[in-house]
Amino acid sequence: MNSKRNVYLDMKTIEEARKILFDRFGGLATPVETLDVVSSKDRVLAKPAMALISSPNFHAAAMDGIAVDAKLTFGAGEESPVTLVPGETAYWVNTGHALPQGTNSVIMIEHLNIIDDKTVEIEAPVFPWQHVRKMGEDIVATKLLFPRSHRITSYSLGALLSGGIFRVEVYKKPKVLIIPTGSELKQWREITIEAMKPGDVIESNSSVLGGLCEDHGACFDCHPMLRDNLDTILKVVETAAKQDYDMICIIGGSSAGSEDYAKPVISSLGEIFVHGVTMMPGKPVMFGKVSGKPVFGIPGYPVSAIVAFEQFAGPLLLNMQKLPQKEAVTVPVSPSRKMASKLGQEEFVRVKIGSVDGKLMSSQLPRGSGSITTLTEADGIIRIPANVEGISENETVQAHLLRPLSAIENTIVIIGSHDNTLDLLADQVRMTQGDIGISSSHVGSMGGLMAIRKGACHMAGVHLLDIEDGTYNISYIQKYLPGEKVWVINLVMRDQGLIVPKGNPKRITGIEDLKTKDLAFINRQPGSGTRILLDYKLKALQISSSEIRGYENDEYTHMSVAVAVLSGRADAGLGIMAAARALDLDFIPVVTEEYDLVIPDRFYSTGKIQVLLDTIQSRDFKDKVTALGGYDTSITGRVIYQS
């Protein structure tokens, strides 16, 4: 068969595509199986559960004491105690014991006057069935415990067993076959890090989708990875459709490339219903039918794959076993800056969320559909409708939470310049105070000060050089945060310099070489302290930014600059020594600079900020920072300035 490029001719909205999906497959239900009750948690009853016995199935003592016939106690009082004889007119019982024949009440042991082994006295009467769990008090035989389609919870297990039901009929878990495809992919079991070469990609989507299958109550098999070959993929899908799978997911090959084979495979074996949905990420998702079974073409980019599965395959799996659809927990949030979006595409924007001044503030993460960490780091997702071009920073929008709100309330929000020690700090705070977390967003030092001004964070990481007097941060705070009472606490002194390839093949010695040797440079974003430092050095050397090849190409973190150099995309980039050392690159020092935390006064004395400040002054944290290389912690934790 010859391959050809696929074209999105008739893209659907999410709502249209989901309606088509459920119109075609909404009637599918998995077969019924019988399970031991103890193995049935989270399964759905296919038949109603009727109690076979009562619970309790006898009259049971509800207290420790003696069981009696209540009428024998009538008339008892302080002046006229009634004498009872254990074994004759009264019987010792413990909580849960069956009442002896002829008794109907229990007198608590603390209400007894024990005269001797054969005699007890009581000074108050009891009434019939006092301190007794009567037969059928909880469950009466034949009672409907749960109707069909009830999802069995942990509590349900107790009710079923108490009602004498030891086996139940439930819907089987759907069985999914996951087929990863891609000639460039390497499975983790079959490759070592040392053996990887440019172009190799570790296949992770099948593990992620397998976990999502389980999250949606299904089980799965993962087929060995297939190379991009139409006939091979076609044969595997054709065989799987004849087996006991309820769904097939082909990972990769759903886009419009010449070697994207999901569409020709599904269309040649069955029928395509949808190819392309107006959402980002996940646009190339497709689904169709082969031998009556739903077959999905899942995009190969990790975030696209997850969004496509959660919007379509996951809901269908729940429906197959009569499980309720997942309900999104949403909260109102305010973006810390404008979020642009493309008309005609519903966009799923991953965001970090923090509670600042009682208001939930969100900061968007990178939008790349290949960046799995944008989901692992995200606190929530904002869905931007297809009919708007974005969200302004003054709007309040709904965010779908990915983490509990309580965890977000306990998160310290740091916005500003990137530094590797922030990751160490987050881990150290979590280790010493497990319920407190740190969320850091890297928008540059000026971006951090603007976030403080907007009330979008608890603190900012800054290293802004005053080119007039060589000091750091204070003049900028006075200019851009007038009237704001803040504390400036030193986090680290750090070495900034040129990050270059191992061995320094271009023999770079300083900033001036960026011009004279016509090097490919990678910059930091406007507003970052590193960018300001570079501009200051260029001005001192009388070098125009237009003379630096790559000046306009920027990254948002020191590690991204280091990766650009490691990959060969750049010959040099300005960054911190710790980033160069982390990737085994060479480093040419330029300056030692001050990296501080700017904390608004209203947050300074709060419990979680004090935990952070205690942490940065600890010997354990300072030792770990020093081990990174390029840092000096001699004034770490010192108050640099207070307004």
* Average pLDDT of the residues in 358-381: 87
Report whether pLDDT(474) > 90.
yes
Interatomic CA distance for residues 250 and 305, integer angstroms: 10
pLDDT in tens, 511-539: 999 998 889 999 999 989 999 999 999 99
Report whether pLDDT(509) > 90.
yes
- Please tell me the predicted confidence (pLDDT) of residue 626: 96
Interatomic CA distance for residues 582 and 562, integer angstroms: 9
pLDDT in tens, 138-148: 899 999 999 99
Check whether domain 330-403 has CATH 2.40.340.10, yes or no: yes
Report whether pLDDT(61) > 60.
yes
- Please tell me the predicted confidence (pLDDT) of residue 194: 83
Where are the chain's structural domains?
14-28+174-320, 32-55+138-171, 60-133, 330-403, 445-642
Lowest mean pLDDT among 106-120, 155-169, 628-642: 106-120
pLDDT in tens, 92-114: 999 999 999 999 999 999 999 99
Report whether pLDDT(258) > 80.
no
Cα dihedral sign, 143-149-155-157:
positive
Lowest mean pLDDT among 243-257, 262-276, 578-592: 243-257
Report whether pLDDT(372) > 90.
no
Strands 286-290 and 346-356: unpaired
Report whether pLDDT(256) > 70.
no
CA distance between the termini of the chain = 74
Cis check for the bond before 56: say yes or no (omega within 30 of 0): yes
**359 CB neighbour count, 10 Å cutoff:** 13
Read off the pLDDT band of 9 (50, 70, 90).
low
- Please tell me the predicted confidence (pLDDT) of residue 428: 95
Give the CATH architecture of domain 32-55+138-171: Alpha-Beta Complex (3.90)
- Please tell me the predicted confidence (pLDDT) of residue 5: 53
- Selected from 2.60.200.20, 3.40.190.290, 3.30.360.10, 3.30.450.70, the CATH number assigned to the domain covering 445-642 reads 3.40.190.290
- Please tell me the predicted confidence (pLDDT) of residue 2: 45
pLDDT in tens, 165-223: 999 999 999 999 999 998 888 888 888 888 888 888 889 999 999 999 999 999 999 99
Report whether pLDDT(274) > 70.
yes
Report whether pLDDT(320) > 50.
yes
Give the CATH architecture of domain 60-133: Beta Complex (2.170)
* Burial of 532 (C-beta count, 10 Å sphere; 0-12/13-18/19+): buried
pLDDT in tens, 389-402: 889 887 899 999 99
- Please tell me the predicted confidence (pLDDT) of residue 117: 81
Give the pair of three-digit tokens for residue 476: 């900028």
Cα dihedral sign, 501-507-509-515:
negative
DSSP tag of 585 = -
Report whether pLDDT(1) > 60.
no
* Average pLDDT of the residues in 253-262: 67
Mean pLDDT computed over every residue of the chain: 93
* Average pLDDT of the residues in 496-505: 96
What is the greatest pairwise CA distance in the chain? 114
Candidates 235, 233, 283; CA nearest to 262 is: 233
Strands 144-146 and 49-50: antiparallel
- Please tell me the predicted confidence (pLDDT) of residue 550: 94
- Please tell me the predicted confidence (pLDDT) of residue 3: 47
* Average pLDDT of the residues in 582-586: 95
- Please tell me the predicted confidence (pLDDT) of residue 255: 64
- Please tell me the predicted confidence (pLDDT) of residue 191: 85
Strand ranges in 47-180 using DSSP code E only, listed in sequence order: 49-50, 60-61, 65-68, 82-84, 91-93, 105-108, 113-116, 119-122, 132-133, 144-146, 167-171, 175-180
* Average pLDDT of the residues in 108-133: 92
- Please tell me the predicted confidence (pLDDT) of residue 516: 85
- Selected from 1.10.10.410, 3.40.980.10, 3.10.150.10, 3.40.50.300, the CATH number assigned to the domain covering 14-28+174-320 reads 3.40.980.10
- Please tell me the predicted confidence (pLDDT) of residue 257: 53
* Average pLDDT of the residues in 541-554: 94
